[in-house]
């Protein structure tokens, strides 16, 4: 299934609206739960029911976030240590089903893989809007986990842009 992920440009926090391929809103990410210590986001359905909670991990060698469901860690998304051959992220889930995200992460052109199998593709190529991109998720995969991971990757890769945008809104 294809999803359209768009960052809300006039929001104070890292807010996103996620639509299905028919253009209907199906999920929202509320980044207003911001503290001075770390970032926190609520991943919700359109009725405001929390499906996952994203929080920044304080003690980590590289930028990383936890995705929680029902108070339990469902995954840890972390930027890989410096590697000469690739730039990527690991989505560490309990058990053997870890995901890797690799590609042109800054340009929103990357894939999620499990082992050698592609499970989702993220692409900005089809959209002219600056903060809009498509996420194609293979059948049988967990859309909330993959979409929440995509939001985390966006936050980490574009942290400086997001801070500049917040400062601009605050000063206007």
Beta carbons within 8 Å of 123's beta carbon, 6+ residues apart: 108, 109, 133, 134, 136
Domain with 148, as residue range(s), is: 2-171
Structure tokens at 132: 């809009």
10-19, 40-49, 60-69, 154-163: which range is least confident on average?
A: 154-163
> Do the beta carbons of residue 28 and residue 16 sit within 8 Å?
yes
Average pLDDT over residues 71-95: 84
Spatial contact of 19 and 134, defined as CB atoms under 8 Å apart: no
> Beta 2-7 vs 72-79: how paired, if at all?
unpaired
Q: How many domains does the chain have?
A: 1
CA angle in degrees (0–180, nearest 5) for 81-91-19: 125
Q: For residues 66 and 13, which has the higher predicted lDDT (pLDDT)? A: 66
pLDDT score, position 127:
59
**Higher local confidence (pLDDT), 31 or 38:** 31
CATH number for the domain that contains residue 7: 2.40.160.200
114-133 confidence digits (pLDDT tens):
999 999 999 887 655 556 78
Burial state string for 106-131 with b = 16 or more CB within 10 A and e = fewer than 16: eebebbbbbeeeebbbbbbeeeeeeb
């Amino acid at each position: 299934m294809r999803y359209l992920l768009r960052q809300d440009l006039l929001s104070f926090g890292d807010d996103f609206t996620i639509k299905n391929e028919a253009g209907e809103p199906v999920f929202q990410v509320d980044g207003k739960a911001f503290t001075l210590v770390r970032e926190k986001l609520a991943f919700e359905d359109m009725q405001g029911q929390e499906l996952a909670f994203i929080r920044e991990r304080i003690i980590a060698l590289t930028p990383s976030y936890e995705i929680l469901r029902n108070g339990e860690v469902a995954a840890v998304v972390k930027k890989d240590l410096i590697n000469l051959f690739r730039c990527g992220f690991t989505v560490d889930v309990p058990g053997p089903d870890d995901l890797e995200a690799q590609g042109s992460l800054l340009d929103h052109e990357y894939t999620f893989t499990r082992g050698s199998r592609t499970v989702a593709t993220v692409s900005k190529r089809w959209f002219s809007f600056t903060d809009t991109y498509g996420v194609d998720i293979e059948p049988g995969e967990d859309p909330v986990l993959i979409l929440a991971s995509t939001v985390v990757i966006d936050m980490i890769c574009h942290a400086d842009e997001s801070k500049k945008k917040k400062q601009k809104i605050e000063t206007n």
